[in-house]
Amino acid sequence: MNMSIEEYFSKHWQQDWSQFDLTGYNILSKLPCNGKETIIDVGCGYNPLKQWFEDRLVGIDPYNDSADVKVSIEDFETDQKFDIALALGSINFGSMQDIFWQTEKMCSLVKEGGKVIWRQNPGIYDHPNDYFKDIDLFNWTFQINITIAEALDMEVVDLRWDNNRIYSEWRKPYVGNVTGVSD
Ligand SMILES: C[S@@+](CC[C@H](N)C(=O)[O-])C[C@H]1O[C@@H](n2cnc3c(N)ncnc32)[C@H](O)[C@@H]1O
């Protein structure tokens, strides 16, 4: 019997950030711990960053009860725009089309000048339980980052390995009049 993604992430998956240098708890050095910046943690799992950001961070996840809003990125509805979106291993399942739509939706929630910070699995089945093999992993690559970011008018500002995952940062450019001075 093939396990559904819902069953896997609601019953079997456990967080382990010990193998990640950039996207373990060191991710905190990339995030504004003081100030007013807002963060959406897409596929937050157990919502481990909530304790540092409280109301400035909204963790969404369709399968984990620790989420602030128990919903998928596809079905999340808000008028709010965020300074930073995190996708730490969460936009990583299904087809290229699934990934594209989910990424487009996530980027639409980011302010101009804001960032998306990613941890991406390139297709490695290394979770320490047998159930993981039933999950339809999307194989992220450096080139796919560049292709999707370009299609969505996002800039890739950092792209490198974080152990056996891809660390990526995208920036949403300003398109309006940034000076506020009219002609
Ligand atoms: C590998 S876990 C990573 C969780 C967390 N970001 C972390 O780093 O510990 C992937 C998470 O993505 C969530 N997820 C899967 N599909 C999703 C979707 N369509 N929208 C939002 N989250 C999703 C899962 O429920 C799961 O909690």
CB-CB contact of 117 with 105 (8 Å): no
Percent of the chain with pLDDT over 70: 95
**pTM beyond cutoff 0.75:** yes
Q: Evaluate if residue 80 carries a pLDDT over 70.
A: yes
Q: Which numbered atom of ligand 1 lies nearest the CA of 6?
A: 25
Residue the block writes with tokens 């961070």 = 57
State how far Cα 54 lies from the chain centre: 18
Task: Name the region of 101 (left: φ>0; alpha: ψ -120 to 50; beta: rest).
Answer: alpha
Q: Evaluate if residue 7 carries a pLDDT over 80.
A: yes
Query: Could you tell me which CATH class the domain 37-171 is placed in?
Result: alpha beta
- The domain spans of the chain are 37-171
Q: Which of 58, 61, 63, 97 to mutate to test the pocket of ligand 1 (most atoms within 8 A of CB)?
A: 61
pLDDT of residue 179: 62
Nearest to 172 by CA among 101, 93, 81, 72: 81
Nearest to 159 by CA among 33, 45, 22: 22
pLDDT digits (tens, 9 = 90+) for 15-48: 999 999 999 999 999 998 778 999 999 999 999 9
Q: Which residues of 92-129 are buried (b: 16+ CB within 10 A; e: fewer)?
A: bbeeeeebbebbebbbebbbeebbbbbbbbbeeeebee
Q: Evaluate if residue 117 carries a pLDDT over 80.
A: yes
Nearest CA to ligand 1 atom 4: 45
State how far Cα 107 lies from the chain centre: 10
- Mean residue pLDDT of the chain comes to 95
Is any atom of ligand 1 closer than 6 Å to the C-beta of 44? yes
